[in-house]
């Protein structure tokens, strides 16, 4: 393929605006609070210490934020959706936790180089459109020898399959690499390898627990931005087709039989130590 025939580079700015609107739709916090155990596990894996400076990147409603604050770290919680930061602020206030909340784009963090001892992100930074830029920013704000901790859904796990199913009905933006790549060790090596002194990776499971497939669909259709927006983009026959395919995915993954819905979702728990410590 000649240079003239090469596909145009994606418009990351426009894609980001659409993604921001997607995550601002519905109310992710309704689902986010069910994932708190992931933040607590990541805080342990990253060995958060009292008094450390910690940033939670693409924090959503603050699961990793609260987990780090539970360990008496000094936490700055960032996201580009103000409504989600407000949910995190309310949770921190309810627990009497002192946390700084700041609106910020994961691809352009408003902090000086080496500002933090630890950078965390649970199912957040992986959804940025420009992976190279966001991973570079995560490393930039870390001090030498600092730790980056992430929880990233794997492409073969349930959430990876969820996005694959949605993509069959509502195609993702052209030219943007899928977020599930962050759930693969090889790709993380490409993004972070040059700056990483050490990688620690564990495959873990989070269990989605709902009353039934219909209950999961109702909650995610109402509150989870990517599912909410996918249904909104389809006509009535398209909505029925997507509902059918998502129900089939849920039924195939359900480990609870007919009594309820328990769907194990694989993710990578990653801790990267930055060079130079």
pLDDT at 2 over 60: no
pLDDT at 64 over 50: yes
- pLDDT-wise least confident of 2-6, 102-106, 128-132, 185-189: 2-6
**Predicted confidence band at 3 (pLDDT cuts at 50, 70, 90)?**
very low
| Rounded Cα–Cα distance for residues 18 and 200 (Å) | 33
Nearest CA to 137 among 160, 106, 162, 98?
106
Domains (range + CATH), the chain: 12-207+266-274 (3.40.50.150)
Two tokens, residue 191:
């993004």
| Rounded Cα–Cα distance for residues 140 and 120 (Å) | 13
Q: Read out DSSP for 111-178?
A: S-TT-EEEEEEESSGGG-S-HHHHHHHHHHTEEEEEEEEEEEE-TTSHHHHHHHHHHHHSPPPTTPPP
Stretch 112-134: mean pLDDT, rounded? 97
Q: Could you read off the pLDDT of 240-257 as tens digits, one per residue?
A: 999 999 999 999 999 999
The number of residues in the chain equals: 277
Contact 170/234 with Cβ under 8 angstroms? yes
Q: What is the pLDDT of residue 165?
A: 97
């Amino acid at each position: 393929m000649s240079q003239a025939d090469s596909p145009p580079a994606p418009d990351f700015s426009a894609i980001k605006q659409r993604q921001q609107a997607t995550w601002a739709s519905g109310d992710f916090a309704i689902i986010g609070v069910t994932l708190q155990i992931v933040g607590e596990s990541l805080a342990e894996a990253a060995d958060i210490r009292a008094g450390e400076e910690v940033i939670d990147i693409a924090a959503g409603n603050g699961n990793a934020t609260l987990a780090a604050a539970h360990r008496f770290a000094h936490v700055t919680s960032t996201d580009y959706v103000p409504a989600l930061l407000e949910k995190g602020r309310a949770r921190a206030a309810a627990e009497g936790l002192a946390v700084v909340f700041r609106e910020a784009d994961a691809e352009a963090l408003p902090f000086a180089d080496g500002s933090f001892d630890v950078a965390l992100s649970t199912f957040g930074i992986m959804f940025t459109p420009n992976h190279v830029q966001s991973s570079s920013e995560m490393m930039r704000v870390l001090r030498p020898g600092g730790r980056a901790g992430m929880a990233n859904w794997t492409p073969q796990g349930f959430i990876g399959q969820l996005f694959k199913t949605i993509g069959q009905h509502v195609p993702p933006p052209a030219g943007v690499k899928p977020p599930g790549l962050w759930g693969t060790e090889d790709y993380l090596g490409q993004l972070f390898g040059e700056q990483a002194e050490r990688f620690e990776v564990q495959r873990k499971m989070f269990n989605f627990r709902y009353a039934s497939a219909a209950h999961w669909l109702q909650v995610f259709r109402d509150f989870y931005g990517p599912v909410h927006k996918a249904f909104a983009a389809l006509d009535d026959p398209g909505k029925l087709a997507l509902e059918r395919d998502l129900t089939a995915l849920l039924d195939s993954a359900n480990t609870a039989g007919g009594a309820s819905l328990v769907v194990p979702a694989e993710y990578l728990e990653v801790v990267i130590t930055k060079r130079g410590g």
